Amino acid sequence: MAFDAYGNLTPYAVIELDLDVFRQQFVEQFPFSTKRNWLFDVFVSYMNDVKQTVKTEVTV
């Protein structure tokens, strides 16, 4: 993953990541954050609920 001088992901296009890479880059890289782990867990729970509701694979 690459970031520009402002912290934005590059290239400026859709970047496909699996959930493990997302967690490593945006949750585990911030060990002192008090919210990121909780937000990630809530997001995963929400996505699981969506999958149950629509009965199909969901990508974000």
Q: How many domains does the chain fold into? A: 1
Task: Phi first, then psi: give them for residue 20, nearest 5 degrees.
Answer: -65, -45
pTM of the model: 0.74
Instruction: Give domain status of residue 7, yes or no.
Output: no
Instruction: Give domain status of residue 9, yes or no.
Output: no
What is the domain range of residue 34? 16-60
Q: What is the pLDDT along the chain (60 residues), one digit of tens a residue?
A: 889 999 999 999 998 889 999 999 999 999 999 999 999 999 999 999 998 898 777 776
pLDDT value of position 56: 77
Please say whether the beta carbons of 9 and 1 come within 8 A: yes
Instruction: Give domain status of residue 34, yes or no.
Output: yes
